[in-house]
């Protein structure tokens, strides 16, 4: 039996951006070779930001389409939508009764997000968000969870909850997951503000490289990326953040190391580098974009894949939930359940 990997993304944007792709999806695709992989579109999590209903529906399908287009293979891995598997919400409730108020209150992402919107704009779901995330992970007896650095604390909570369940309800109640923090190798920064992480919710649309964007617009964004007043192409995150970001992107897609690229571009101008990076990115993303648009344009085909994924996910999730419900002392609804 291969170890199990679980990861997920929220459907909170019309398109994923290059950072999601290089920082997460590339890893997900690779892990399919060595792991039993389950990847979710976590739409229940997205409800915490009060999305417009039709937009949530479109973004849920578009996010799944981009997983598939990037190479997540539904023949080998489970691809599903969180709300299709009711056990997620059910386990989240159970876990909330095992989570201390203070423990949940220490989550820095909650503090940041709630500070931004103020108390009147903060819903309880935003507070319990990490508990739902723990449910996602623990339902599948997950061994490994690849996530970005910003999710480290949430992962730690999932591990603490898993250990607590095993202590209180007996060893083997749940698997304690390991974090697999995707290191800075492919951390992509905003093209306009290269000290900030490229993000789906970036303020300047010119700063991102969106996978579903028109290739001409992508090239334009790259060609107008902020650099510095120097002229030497070199890698220095401190003093040359913009150029360094372009080199990181280039290296991730082209296979040449950053050192090799610096050597190859010696004496050349920033404009030259930008044109080449734009070409590489467009060439790389075009087939992915086209595959994603194909899925989006045939929602019946996409929904069928997601229905199949949900059925497979439910088989695993319901067994875990039954085990937990039994161990905490809930009476089964049907004899022998
Ligand atoms: P988010 O867009 O925050 O929901 O992130 C989804 C996944 O993409 C997480 O695993 C992040 O770590 C990864 N990710 C998002 N933005 C970047 C970025 N700029 N560079 C590298 N990885 C990223
Ligand atoms: N909170 C994660 C993020 O914003 C998304 C997520 C939800 C997740 N449930 C998960 C990631 C379970 C890994 C495992 O990136």
Q: How far apart are CA 113 and CA 172, in angstroms?
A: 35
Rounded to a whole number of angstroms, the distance between the first and last alpha carbons of the chain is 26
pLDDT, mean over the chain: 95
Percent of the chain with pLDDT over 90: 91
**Any bridge partners for residue 7, and if so which?**
39
What token pair was written down for 159? 């591990």
The H-assigned helical ranges of the chain are 18-20, 26-31, 43-46, 53-70, 87-96, 101-105, 108-121, 124-138, 152-169, 215-223, 241-254, 258-264, 270-297, 299-328
pTM of structure: 0.95
Pocket flag, ligand 1, residue 200 (CB < 6 Å): yes
Q: How far apart are CA 292 and CA 272, in angstroms?
A: 30
Inter-residue contact 174 to 320 (CB < 8 Å) = yes
Q: How far apart are CA 249 and CA 235, in angstroms?
A: 12
| Gyration radius of the chain over CA positions | 21
Q: Please compute the mean of the pLDDT values over residues 90-96 and round it to a whole number.
A: 98
Inter-residue contact 72 to 42 (CB < 8 Å) = no
Q: Is 184's pLDDT higher than 60? A: no
- In eight-state DSSP terms, residue 298 is -
Q: What are the two backbone dihedrals, phi and then psi, of residue 332, each rounded to the nearest 5 degrees?
A: -65, 145
**pLDDT for position 336:** 61
Percent of the chain with pLDDT over 70: 98
Name the band, by pLDDT with cuts 50, 70 and 90, for residue 149: confident
What token pair was written down for 139? 């339902």
Ligand 1 atom nearest to 16, measured from its CA: 2
Q: How far apart are CA 34 and CA 179, in angstroms?
A: 16
Only one residue has tokens 């990076």, namely: 277
**pLDDT for position 185:** 53
Condensed to tens digits (0 to 9), the pLDDT of residues 286-329 reads 999 999 999 999 999 999 999 999 999 999 999 999 999 999 99
Q: How far is the CA of 299 from the centre of ligand 2 (A)?
A: 24
Q: How far is the CA of 19 from the centre of ligand 1 (A)?
A: 6
Cβ-defined contacts of 237-244 (< 8 Å, 24+)? 241/189, 241/194, 241/195, 242/191, 242/194, 243/270, 243/273, 244/194
Query: Which of 92, 133, 141, 317 for mutating ligand 2's site (highest number of atoms within 8 Å of CB)?
Result: 133
Number of residues written out for the chain? 337
Q: Is 28's pLDDT higher than 70? A: yes
Q: How far apart are CA 155 and CA 6, in angstroms?
A: 12
**pLDDT for position 205:** 85
**pLDDT for position 95:** 98
Ligand nearest to the CA of 11: 1
Condensed to tens digits (0 to 9), the pLDDT of residues 36-63 reads 999 999 999 999 999 999 999 999 999 9
Top pLDDT among 203 and 83 is at 83
Closest by CA position to 21, among listed 242, 297, 291: 291
Ligand 1 atom nearest to 20, measured from its CA: 8
Q: Is 245's pLDDT higher than 60? A: yes
Catalytic residue numbers read 113, 197, 200
Inter-residue contact 122 to 114 (CB < 8 Å) = yes
Q: How far apart are CA 193 and CA 72, in angstroms?
A: 31
Query: Which of 8, 9, 137 for mutating ligand 2's site (highest number of atoms within 8 Å of CB)?
Result: 8
Ligand nearest to the CA of 39: 2
Q: Which residues of 293-319 are buried (b: 16+ CB within 10 A; e: fewer)?
A: eebbeeeeebeebbeebbebbbebbee
Q: Is 187's pLDDT higher than 60? A: yes
Pocket flag, ligand 2, residue 133 (CB < 6 Å): yes
Name the band, by pLDDT with cuts 50, 70 and 90, for residue 337: low
Closest by CA position to 48, among listed 137, 102, 95, 116: 116
Q: Is 260's pLDDT higher than 80? A: yes
Pocket flag, ligand 1, residue 148 (CB < 6 Å): yes
Q: How far apart are CA 87 and CA 82, in angstroms?
A: 9
- Identify the helix (H) or strand (E) that includes residue 5: strand 4-9
The Cα-based distances of 56 to 49, 78, 230, 297 in angstroms read 10, 21, 44, 17
Q: How far apart are CA 130 and CA 119, in angstroms?
A: 18
């Amino acid at each position: 039996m291969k170890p199990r990997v679980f990861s997920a993304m929220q459907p909170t944007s019309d398109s994923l951006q290059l950072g999601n792709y290089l920082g997460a999806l590339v890893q997900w695709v690779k892990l399919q070779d060595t792991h039993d992989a389950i990847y979710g579109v976590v739409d229940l999590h997205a409800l915490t930001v009060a999305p417009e209903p039709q937009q949530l529906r479109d973004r849920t399908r578009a996010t799944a389409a981009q997983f598939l287009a990037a190479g997540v293979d539904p023949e080998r891995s489970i691809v599903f939508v969180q709300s299709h598997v009711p056990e997620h919400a059910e386990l989240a409730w159970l876990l909330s009764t095992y989570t201390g108020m203070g423990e949940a209150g220490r989550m820095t992402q909650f503090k940041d997000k709630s500070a931004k919107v103020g108390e009147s704009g903060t819903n309880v779901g935003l507070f319990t968000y990490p508990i739902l995330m723990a449910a996602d992970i623990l339902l599948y007896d997950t061994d490994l969870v690849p996530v970005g650095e910003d999710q480290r604390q949430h992962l730690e909570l999932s591990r603490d909850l898993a250990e607590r369940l095993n202590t209180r309800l007996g060893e083997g109640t749940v698997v304690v997951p390991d974090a697999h923090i995707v290191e800075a190798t492919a951390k992509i920064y905003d093209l306009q503000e290269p000290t900030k992480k490229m993000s789906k919710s970036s303020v300047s649309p010119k700063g991102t490289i969106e996978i579903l964007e028109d290739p001409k617009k992508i090239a334009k964004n790259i060609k107008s990326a902020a650099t510095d007043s120097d002229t030497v192409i070199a890698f220095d995150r401190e003093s040359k953040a913009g150029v360094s970001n372009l080199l990181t992107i280039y290296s991730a897609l082209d296979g040449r190391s950053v050192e090799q690229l610096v050597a190859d571009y010696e004496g050349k101008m920033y404009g030259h580098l930008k044109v080449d990076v734009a070409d590489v990115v467009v060439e790389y993303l075009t087939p992915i974009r086209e595959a994603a648009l194909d899925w989006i344009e045939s929602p019946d085909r996409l929904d069928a894949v997601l229905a199949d994924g949900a059925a497979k996910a439910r088989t695993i999730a319901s067994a875990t939930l039954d085990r937990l419900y039994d161990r905490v002392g809930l009476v089964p609804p049907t004899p022998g359940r």
